[in-house]
Amino acid sequence: MAGMKPYPAAEKHMTPMGFPPARVENWQEKGVEKMGEMLKKYRSLQVFMDICVKCGSCTDKCHYYIGTGDPNNMPVQRAELMRKVYRRYFTPAGKILPGVVKAEEFDEKVLQEWVTYFHQCSQCRRCSVFCPYGIDTAEVTMAAREIMDSIGVGHKYSTEIIGKVHTLGNNLGIPAPALKSTLQFLEDDILDNTGHEVRLPLDEPGAEVMLVPPSADFFSEPHIQSLIGYAKVFHQAGISFTISSFASEAANFGMFIGSYDHKRKIAKRIADKARELKVKRIVVGECGHAWRVAYSFWNTLNGPFDFLDPRYPAPQHICEFTHDLLQRGALTLDKEANDPYVVTFHDSCNVARASRMGPNPGGQFEIPRELIKASCNRFVEMDEETIREKTFCCGGGGGLLTDELMDLRIKGVLPRVTALKQVMKKDGVNFLALICAICKAQFTKVLPMYKIPMETVGGVHQLVSNAIVLGAKKGIV
Amino acid sequence: MLMLIAYIALVTFVVGFGWRLWTYWLAPAPLKIPTTPAPVSKSGVAWRLFTEVAFFNSLFKGNKWTWVGGYAFHAALLLVALRHLRYFVPVPEVFSHMQIFGILAGLIMVGALGFLLVRRWYVPRTRHISSLADYGMLLLLLAIGGSGLLMTFCVRPDIVSIKEAMTGWITFQGFKTPEDALFVLHFLLVLLLLAIFPFSKLMHLGGIFFSPTRNQVDNPREERHVNPWAGN
Ligand code: SF4
Ligand code: SF4
């Protein structure tokens, strides 16, 4: 089927990443060898290969299964694509009785299944919520992609993007001068619209905070509206900040391809720049998987972050940052500014199921909601089976936000669309608030296919931006 | 002969189970990956694991019917196992008054297994994901349960000689093979289960405690988690 299979990475993408330029000759052997290595390095993989009882609890939980009806998109069946190879080469049962336990050789057919179905998983972890053993198919997908990269079978989209981050510092490949002029343009824009000199500084040493947004925030709609929102919050709170041109990207596609080394290298440039610019805090913008990497992995990858101010969590999410200021009375929000909107909130997978905000479990659900409620008068929830820890992926996460997978993306968004349409009809919802750059890009592209206008999609800090009263300076109390 | 098989099975089980757990233990967890919202303290994690093991929390969220079948089976199995204790070790007097629960549990266990088997076959999604081994496991457990129930209700074997044999077996003092054919069948099936246990999905029994999405504390910012193979 068209629009369901990834484009292969070419030599020019693979070589700079340290991957073989094309499929290696003895790929079967190498692939199995790599799997053996990974089983020893990742307890998750080893345990998840062994203990699935095929209870079926996860089978109907994946948005791609719901959208496509393809049995290979049932999470357990996706993992089985790797498990059957695991059994063949690493378990006595699979060696002796392959037919009984469904064990298979790592052959061309299996490899093609891997290419297809491990690129039909957005690593959203919804399946892991419902599994009695917490089996997280995202871990299996990451491992499969790493094995494929190691034998020279890569995905063009992710490898190309990682290449840009390593050389230019962001996924979009924006060079520093272009970034500089964009930010200046935005400053002028805010001045024209509000009469206030809100700054968006670039590479300014000695600032209090380094802001690391997803790079889509610089160029895409509606992402830019949230960037303006962050800037207004800093301005109003009187806290100096800077963006770094070489760390102008929170996203970390190293996670998508399962590569520890790339993940670490991509994250490292942010820690390095924070040291260099002598900032005291790092705040991460509205980006789901970036927040997972920052929150859960940075400390392990490049820590300790003991050069930062210990009074604040390192790193801090922009929602935590704004929420904290709000609680301390530093901001004034005029809810009426958002009166044209009836708002609902889409929990982004990586924030919901792979990270936290604030000191308490579940803060990642409450803090953004509190910000929204402080910024507008009308907020409603979608069906509770589709929010918080049970939230559905937008359909474009995990390195699948690419045009050649458009059919998959349109199908994968179905469960979210169903829940959204319900509240649109019942409560007149016309604003879908988000804190993820990938979700924003995916929704603006695919919701129109379901006759939902793309203007429905926006950031939480877009609402904050509309509501914030500039000049009503109270400072931090 | 039976004695030899019995020892081979027992040793396979103990060594195999230990070997699998050792493998899980050796594989490090390089990163923090708890499925959130997750507990932020160790005691919270202990509670999370307890609720998973004692109530099958996540399964309950996922599928009510499978939960009913699975929970009934496991709870009944526990009672049945407790009831069988008296064949191996001396048990306090009160237990003998509770035999009725054990017998009831035997019926529930077999009923639940039947339900799970039918469900596996009947629901297209579970049928699609099942291998012969998955059906085989249910059939084996059913055969064990069925032969046990037969002995309880129809053909009562000589308990005294069985008890002697069992005690001898697990204390490694050798045993005299009981005559009773039904018992021998029941026992052989259990031995088969023990022997394949470490090589099968039954390892979920030990594996769940090693599952990083469930056993990790959600505190990556507060406490630095070190990856042993990353070299820093
Ligand atoms: S819920 Fe877990 S144990 Fe059950 S089939 Fe899915 S992965 Fe396997
Ligand atoms: S991680 Fe998400 S996309 Fe992948 S199999 Fe699980 S539910 Fe589906």
B33 contacts in chain A (CB < 8 Å): 44, 136, 139, 296, 354
- Which of A40, A77, A297 lies closest to B31 in CB terms? A297
Nearest bound ligand to CA A59? 1
Angle at the Cα of A160 from the Cα atoms of A158 and A162, rounded to 5 degrees: 70
ipTM > 0.90, yes or no = yes
- Which of A130, A300, A359 lies closest to B220 in CB terms? A300
pLDDT in tens, B54-69: 999 999 999 999 999 9
- Surface of A (50-79) touching B: CB under 8 A: 50-61, 71, 74, 76-77
Task: Please tell me if residue A133 touches chain B, with a CB cutoff of 8 Å.
Answer: yes
- Surface of B (164-193) touching A: CB under 8 A: none
Q: Give, using CA atoms, the residue closest to atom 5 of ligand 1.
A: A54
Please work out whether the CB of residue A326 comes within 6 Å of at least one atom of ligand 2: no
Closest of A368, A292, A286 to residue A323, by C-alpha: A368
Per-residue pLDDT at A75: 98
CB contact under 8 A, A389 and B36: yes
Question: Which residue bears the tokens 């993007």?
Answer: A161
For residue B212, CA distances in Å to A77, A99, B33, B38, B160 come to: 21, 31, 6, 11, 46
Please work out whether the CB of residue A74 comes within 6 Å of at least one atom of ligand 1: no
Per-residue pLDDT at B92: 80
Residues of chain B with pLDDT under 50: none
Number of the ligand 2 atom closest to the C-alpha atom of A412: 3
CB contact under 8 A, A42 and B24: no
- Which of A42, A80, A135 lies closest to B30 in CB terms? A42
Question: Which residue bears the tokens 């520093």?
Answer: A176
Q: What is the mean pLDDT of each run of 10 residues along chain A (477 residues)?
A: 88 95 97 98 98 98 98 98 98 96 97 98 98 98 98 96 90 90 97 96 97 96 97 96 95 97 96 97 98 98 95 97 96 97 98 98 98 98 98 97 97 98 98 98 97 97 97 65
Task: Please tell me if residue A355 touches chain B, with a CB cutoff of 8 Å.
Answer: yes
Please work out whether the CB of residue A396 comes within 6 Å of at least one atom of ligand 2: no
- Give me the total of CB pairs closer than 8 Å, taking one residue from chain A and one from chain B: 209
Instruction: Check: CB of residue B87 under 8 Å from CB of residue B162.
Output: yes
Sheet of strand A457-459: strand arrangement? A343-345, A431-434, A457-459
Task: Please tell me if residue B97 touches chain A, with a CB cutoff of 8 Å.
Answer: no
Angle at the Cα of A347 from the Cα atoms of A343 and A349, rounded to 5 degrees: 155
Nearest bound ligand to CA A55? 1
Q: How far is the CA of A443 from the centre of ligand 1 (A)?
A: 29
Distant-in-sequence, close-in-space partners of A159: CB < 8 Å, separation ≥ 6:
A9, A13, A14, A17, A19, A149, A257
Q: Give, using CA atoms, the residue closest to atom 2 of ligand 1.
A: A131
Classify residue B105 by burial, with Cβ atoms within 10 Å: 0-12, 13-18, 19+.
Answer: buried
Among A43, A66, A264, which would you mutate to test the B interface (most chain B Cβ atoms within 10 Å of its Cβ)?
A43
- DSSP secondary structure string, B111-165? HHHHHHHHHHHHSHHHHHH--HHHHHHHHHHHHHHHHHHHHHHT----HHHHHHH
Please work out whether the CB of residue A57 comes within 6 Å of at least one atom of ligand 1: yes
- Surface of B (40-79) touching A: CB under 8 A: 40, 44, 52, 56, 58-59, 61-63, 66, 70
- Which of B61, B128, B210 lies closest to A71 in CB terms? B128
Task: Please tell me if residue A312 touches chain B, with a CB cutoff of 8 Å.
Answer: no
Nearest bound ligand to CA A70? 2
Q: Give, using CA atoms, the residue closest to atom 6 of ligand 1.
A: A58
Number of the ligand 1 atom closest to the C-alpha atom of A48: 7
Query: In terms of residues, how long is chain B?
Result: 232
A352 contacts in chain B (CB < 8 Å): 36
Q: How far is the CA of A200 from the centre of ligand 2 (A)?
A: 37
CB contact under 8 A, B63 and A133: no
**Predicted TM-score (pTM) above 0.90:** yes
Number of the ligand 1 atom closest to the C-alpha atom of A51: 3
Strands A281-284 vs A209-212: parallel, antiparallel or unpaired? parallel
- Which of B26, B29, B59 lies closest to A44 in CB terms? B29
Pairwise CA distance, residues A350 & A257, whole Å? 15
Per-residue pLDDT at A88: 98
Six token digits for residue A235: 């301005």
Q: How far is the CA of A396 from the centre of ligand 1 (A)?
A: 24
Six token digits for residue A13: 């993408």
Task: Please tell me if residue B204 touches chain A, with a CB cutoff of 8 Å.
Answer: yes
CA-nearest residue of chain B to A388? B37
Please provide residue A302's backbone torsions phi and psi, each rounded to the nearest 5 degrees: -130, 15
